[in-house]
Chains A and B, each alone.
Chain A
Amino acid sequence: MTLTDTATADELRIGGAVLRNRLIHGTGRFPSNDVLRQCLEAAQPDMVTLAIRRLSLDGGGRNELEGVDFSSCTLLPNTAGATTAQQAIRLAHLARAAGLSEFIKVEVVGDERTLLPDPAGTLEATRVLVEDGFTVLAYTSDDVVLALRLEEAGAAAVMPGAAPIGTTLGIQNPFNVKLIIDRLDVPVIVDAGLGVPSEAVRCMEWGAAAVLVNTAIARARNPVEMARAFRDAVAAGRRAHLAGRAEISFEAVASSPTAGLPTSSS
């Protein structure tokens, strides 16, 4: 039997984007643009997230991302900061006008303390933006039925959070995350709250299409090495998913042959 290298030709398609690398890289909270630039070189992402904010008007409007090259990436602007569907829709249109990209990560925060998403606002913004021709990636909680409703509303991908944004607490509700991955037909991208590469591996092994990592890289002691570690983890988890895990047995099964042991003379 020939076992092919399934991971080599493996691609994730979302809207018009083709992702070979299933680590989506955030760009917020980095110690400097130079560190961010080095992280992107290390992680080699095919998609990066960005936010849209007022330009500082002093001194000719400094480009906040000066020196960072995104030319090899699909830009995924977010609607972070929105607390209503209307605000998210406005930010999405501004981002499209700014970046000429049809991609939008819909993010409608429903609670300022936990930054957990507002289910009704997220669903409403998703419906409207799909109608407006956007490729919507919807950031959502780990609620399975809401994830299904977002898929029905036309989201191109659904992004359940592992834990509240920026916490690096890791996967708090693995059962729900797995259910979402199993129940949806559109790509499921685990977003928010991941802390270490092993958590990204688990998500990918379960069949997540991708993971989005920001704070875990940006706030690591060595962000560049952590970016590399997440890249490797995502690739390993994906490869393991495609390979298919071995069957679980609750009885021990010897790995070494039981026959052919030399007999004892005593």
Chain B
Amino acid sequence: MTIRVTLNGDAREVEEELTVAALLDSLGIKAPRVVVEHNMRILRAEDLAAARIADGDELEVLQFVGGG
């Protein structure tokens, strides 16, 4: 079974019962200083493995970029 989530503004289908940590892992994301917002709530790094993704969830994965 898959569920639909919005990831960085794009609709995606992911496996149900997935955690945020597992999702990042499946996307190959290991970049330093990534920050994740799950339904507008910021996840601390230590909470990524416990955060379970449900149908309709919104996720933002952000990083530092150049700026002034």
Contacts and interface: CB of A to CB of B under 8 A. Distances in A.
Contacts of B49: none
Contacts of A27: 66-68
B65 A78 contact: no
Nearest to B8: A54
Interface string A27-49: 11110000010000000000001
A60 B66 contact: no
B28 A61 contact: yes
Nearest to B29: A61
Interface in A2-51: 26-30, 36, 49-51
B61 interface: yes
A30 B66 contact: yes
B62 A98 contact: yes
Interface in B13-64: 27-35, 37, 40, 42-44, 60-64
**What bracket does the count of chain A residues touching chain B fall in?**
35 or more
Nearest to B33: A98
B11 interface: no
Contacts of A50: 64-67
A1 interface: no
A194 to B, nearest CB: 11
A98 B64 contact: yes
Contacts of B43: 97
A230 B30 CA distance: 36
A61 B28 CA distance: 7
B68 A63 contact: no
Interface string A75-107: 101101000000000100111011100000000
A57 interface: yes
A25 B45 CA distance: 29
A64 B68 contact: no
Interface of A: 26-30, 36, 49-55, 57, 59-65, 75, 77-78, 80, 90, 93-95, 97-99, 165-166, 192, 212, 214-215
